[in-house]
Amino acid sequence: MSRWSFIVNKANKALIHQWLDRAPDGFRVEIREPTRSDAQNRALWPKLTELARLRPTHNGVKMDPELWKCVFMNALGAEMVMLPNLDGDGFFPIGHRSSQLSVGEFSALLEIINAFAAREGVSLERENDND
């Protein structure tokens, strides 16, 4: 096996140690914070949808929730690239996977969105309509 992934907990720490002991030289180990929570993810899309409804353009660009997400991921410091679409009449972003953000990074993303909305006088109150 060339790739292992574990979520560390008390029950599997000994097993993880065994796998590390057997890992060949040159293998890479990465210890990361947990990724975003389901509650955080549920908070993101209503905010972005409401923002797209209230601010359908940004600096002359027609916005949808996915594009707003890219704007805020960029503000968070995430690296991304814009590629031209097949028809050559627009672009689409890649490299902006919020699913890979840690809980702390995702919290910062939500704070950036809230701060932008507050600065622009946009109320994202509808975000809780489905709660």
CATH code of the domain in which 122 resides: 1.10.3790.10
Q: Which helix (H) or strand (E) holds 83?
A: strand 81-84
Q: What tens digit of pLDDT does each residue of 105-114 get? A: 999 999 999 9
Low pLDDT (below 50) residues in the chain: 127-131
**pLDDT given at position 45:** 93
Residue 33: CB partners within 8 Å, gap ≥ 6? 102, 103, 104, 105
**For residue 100, what are the domain limits?**
34-128
The tokens describing 104, both together, are 């702390």
Looking at the structure of the chain, the number of domains it has is 1
